[in-house]
Amino acid sequence: MEKGYFSLVLHAHLPYVRHPEYKSFLEEYWLFEAITETYIPIIQAFQRLTDDGVDFRMTVSMSPPLVAMLQDPLLQERYLTHITGLVELTEKEMDRTKNDPVLLRLSEMYHELFSSCKRTYADEYGLDLVSAFRTFRDAGKIDITTCGATHGFLPLMSEHPASVRAQIRIAAESHEHAFGVRPDGIWLPECGYFPGVDKYLAEEGIRYTFVDSHGVLHADPRPKYGTYAPIATPAGVAVFGRDIESSKQVWSAEEGYPGDFVYRDFYRDYTYELDYDYVKPYLGPDGFRKMLGLKYHRISGKEVALADKEFYDPDIARARAIEHAANFVFNRERQFEHLNDILGRKPFIVAPYDAELFGHWWFEGPIWLEELLKKLDEVKGPVLGATPTDFLNSGEPMQTADPHLSSWGYRGYSEVWLNSTNDYVYPHLHRASMRMTELAKTYPNAEGLRHRALNQAARELLLAQSSDWAFIMKTGTMTEYAHKRTRDHISRFTKLYESVRSNTVDEKWLSEIEWRDRIFPQIDYMVYAEDQSPQG
Tell me which of 108, 124, 354, 438 is the catalytic residue: 354
Nearest to 534 by CA among 232, 231, 197: 197
The three-state secondary structure class of 255 is: coil
What gap in Å lies between CA 388 and CA 142, rounded to an integer? 11
Handedness of CA 367, 371, 372, 373 (dihedral sign): positive
What is the Cα–Cα distance from 128 to 122, expressed in whole angstroms? 8
190 is catalytic: yes
Tell me how crowded residue 301 is: count the other CB atoms within 10 A of its CB.
11
Q: Are strands 238-241 and 231-232 parallel, antiparallel or unpaired?
A: antiparallel
How far is Cα 271 from Cα 341, in angstroms, rounded to an integer?
A: 54
77 is annotated as an active-site residue = no
- Which residues, including other chains, have CB under 8 Å from residue 176's CB and lie 6 or more apart? 182, 183
The active-site residue, picked from 28, 72, 173, 190, is: 190
Angle between helical axes of 101-118 and 40-51 (0-180°, round to 10): 80
Helix axes 314-343, 365-378, angle to 10 degrees: 50
Give the long-range contacts of residues 120-126, CB within 8 A, separation 24 or more.
Answer: 120/40, 120/43, 120/44, 121/35, 121/40, 121/79, 121/80, 121/83, 122/80, 125/43
Task: Give CA–CA dist 457/449, Å, rounded.
Answer: 12
Measured distance CA(314)–CA(293) in Å, rounded: 15
Number of Cβ atoms within 10 Å of the Cβ of 502: 8
- Report, as residue numbers or ranges, the catalytic residues: 190, 354
